[in-house]
Amino acid sequence: MFLKDYYKILQVSHLATDDQIKRSYRKLV
């Protein structure tokens, strides 16, 4: 099974909140 490091892709910390992760995701797409 292959898992990508989504934290690295989104350039957020492993301690980032859901809100921070969503914001980073929206910047990329």
pLDDT of 1-29, one tens digit each? Answer: 355 788 788 888 888 888 988 898 898 88
Position 3 scores a pLDDT of 56
18 vs 13: CA distance, rounded Å:
11
Residue from 21, 3, 4, 1 nearest 12 by CA: 21
Query: Where in the sequence is the domain holding 12, given as residue range(s)?
Result: 1-29
19: tokens are 């809100």
Among 8, 4, 13, residue whose Cα is nearest residue 28: 8
Domain count, the chain: 1
Provide the sign of the torsion angle of the four alpha carbons 10, 14, 20, 22, taken in this order: positive
